[in-house]
Chain A
Amino acid sequence: MTSSAAMAKRAAPVFACIGLLAMWQVASLVLKNDSFPTAIEAIRAVPSILGDKESLINIFASLRRMATGFGAAMLVSIPLGLLMGRSAAVAAFFNPLLMVIYPVPKAALMPIIMLWLGVGDLTKTLVIFLGVSLPVIYHSFQGAKAVQEKMLWSGAAMGLSPLQRLVRIVLPAALPEILTGCRTGLVLALITMITSEMIARQSGAGNILFNALDMGQYDTVFAMIIIVGAMGICLDAIFERVRARLVRWSEPQFDIPLSFS
């Protein structure tokens, strides 16, 4: 009985996807709008995009920027968040700054950044970096703050210096929370990646999407949406695998039940 329940659990997302596509198909057939192709038409356009060398170069350029921005954001945000979590002074300094930046859509900063840095990779990577940083900082901060004082005392008694305690106790103890932030950051990286390419069109997955929109190739537009969605699901699944491996020691309350939470 449990195995059939497990199979149902595994099959559920597949049924959800099929259901969504079926609804799309029906809606588009009912509405009969030129700018709303059917699901089958959109899916049919996917192989032609993925088979086209130019498109693939664009998509890989996007992914490269995303990886760079995401990686740089983790390198900066995790140490900053941990420091804020363990030092009231550092938190008091950075908190107001972050509170100001948090609600600003990072893509809204793009025109200004473009003026400074041009429309190239640097601008887009910086926007991705900004988009990812805040949730990672916030979760690292929360994770570091929640570290049991007695655990740090135990480390101090063994002779760990404050820096060693930060790296060897606070970092691993906060890791489940940090990775939750990183997972949110990964989705935000994908979103800012596309929006940055919408504003500064030069290359990338967003470039394909919005060029097709301009030219009225709606099947390509929707095919790109499917591709971006699939990329999101794949990246999230890979990240979740890595995360589960890294924190298999932790109590289950740190587990995230659903994707894109």
Chain B
Amino acid sequence: MKARQNGRGSNDAPHVCEGDGLSGRFLAKLVLLNVRASETRYGMTVVAARSSEWMRPVTSQEPASAIIEIDRVSQVFQTSARKDHLALSDISLTIEEGAFVSILGPSGCGKSTLLYIVGGFVSPTSGMAKIKGHAITGPGPDRGPVFQEFALFPWKTVLGNVMYGPRQQGVRAAEAEAQSRALIEMVGLKGYENFYPKELSGGMKQRVALARTLAYHPEVLLMDEPFGALDAHTRTRLQNDLLTIWERDRKTVLFVTHSVDEAVFLSDKVIMMSKSPGRIRQVIDIDLPRPRRRNELLLDPRYQKYVVDIERMFDDSDEAGPAL
């Protein structure tokens, strides 16, 4: 459960990881952004450089509090033949603040639906989801989605897309622009500020989508197979960059994927789901050190064991499937 604590203690310098094409200069800028954001939002004068530290409520009793609680959620869809399809069956789940949690499962297991319920885009048929103790009744800027389909605003430039959220939240234009430019640089798209989405590749679009969501400082990132539409090379690079960004910021991330490698590489915790009806099959804590480097991790026998074990569990259920 507390796997993420491993990396945290040893990772308090504001410029640790220089790798993966992200230079320390704009990581430092990001840290600066966090400080400014915290000043404006909470009115603090003295704040730590890392959001994970100031985000943690000082008054709270539990040190690692649950940010999202999913309580006996079921979702029924009506299919074309007027049959009820049970997409999610009785899901209960708690996600702790600052954790990187992946929901892993075959297509059609309802993992995206679960994410949409947390996002407030879909109302569950029964049960409820809560964020910080409040029932989720609709979307809100505390939960920022990143979709496989990118869903950028095609009539806005890269800068316009990233600025959209802050402007909507009432941030002044000059300030929103400065923050957005720093974010665009952080996701590796400096020089593309005035491009339209149609002029970008899939990987670049997804970088813009990530920057656009980070720009309005959501407390939870909801990532719906974000790298699913990308080629293998781009996917790897984006995974690396996402981890680098996340290790600065330690936002809570709920990450839907059907890739076992991806889930193990990125996550503190992997929630394995099974199909028809969508159920939680197993929750696995990924106890691997952070910051994680791909080249080190791929050689790490612990990493390999997680991947093999999880794949074996899915294979078992596939074989058991037709026999039932």
Contact = CB atoms under 8 A, between A and B. Distances in A.
A85 to B, nearest CB: 17
Interface string A170-186: 00110100000000000
A156 interface: yes
B140 to A, nearest CB: 7
Given A150-B147, A154-B145, A169 B153 contact: yes
A153 B151 contact: yes
Contact of A159 (B140, B145, B153, B196): B140
B210 to A, nearest CB: 12
Contacts of A157: 119, 139-141, 143-145, 213, 218
Interface residues of B, number: 29
B143 A158 contact: no
B138 interface: yes
B179 to A, nearest CB: 14
Interface in B141-200: 141, 143-145, 147, 149, 151-156, 164-165, 168-169, 196-198
Q: From B120, B144, B153, name the one whose CB has the most chain A CB atoms within 10 angstroms.
A: B153
B42 interface: no
A148 B143 CA distance: 19
Given A158-B168, A158-B216, A159-B140, A249 B198 contact: yes
A163 to B, nearest CB: 14
A52 interface: no
Given A158-B164, A158-B216, A153 B198 contact: no
Contacts, number: 64
Contacts of B165: 158
Contacts of B119: 153, 157
B77 interface: no
A250 interface: yes
B141 A250 contact: no
A153 B218 CA distance: 14
B145 A172 contact: no
Given A150-B147, A249-B198, A251-B198, A156 B155 contact: no
Interface in A234-251: 247, 249-251
Nearest to B122: A153
Contact of B141 (A159, A247, A251): A159
Nearest to A252: B198
Contact of A173 (B140, B147, B155, B213): B155
Contact of A148 (B144, B145, B149, B156): B149
B141 A158 contact: yes
B153 A156 contact: no
B138 A251 contact: no
Contacts of A153: 119, 121, 139, 145, 147, 151
A151 interface: yes
Number of chain A interface residues as a range? 10 to 19
B260 to A, nearest CB: 25
A154 B147 contact: yes
Nearest to B165: A158
Nearest to B224: A150
Given A156-B138, A158-B165, A160-B168, A148 B151 contact: yes
B158 to A, nearest CB: 12
Contacts of A158: 141, 164-165, 168-169, 216
Given A157-B119, A173-B154, A250 B147 contact: no
A169 B164 CA distance: 11
Contacts of B152: 151
Nearest to A164: B168
B149 A150 contact: yes
Interface string B88-123: 000000000000000000000000000000011100
A156 B137 CA distance: 12
Contact of B153 (A172, A247, A251): A172
Contacts of B155: 172-173, 175, 247, 249-250
Nearest to B216: A158
Interface of B: 119-121, 138-141, 143-145, 147, 149, 151-156, 164-165, 168-169, 196-198, 212-213, 216, 218
Q: Which 7 residue pairs are nearest across A and B when measured between Cβ atoms?
A: A150-B151, A156-B139, A158-B165, A172-B155, A150-B147, A249-B196, A157-B139
Given A156-B120, A159-B169, A250-B154, 10 more contacts: A153-B121, A153-B145, A154-B212, A157-B140, A157-B141, A158-B141, A158-B216, A249-B156, A249-B197, A251-B198
21 contacts: A148-B151, A150-B145, A150-B151, A151-B152, A151-B153, A153-B119, A153-B147, A154-B145, A154-B213, A156-B121, A157-B139, A157-B143, A157-B218, A158-B164, A159-B168, A160-B168, A172-B155, A173-B153, A173-B154, A247-B155, A250-B154
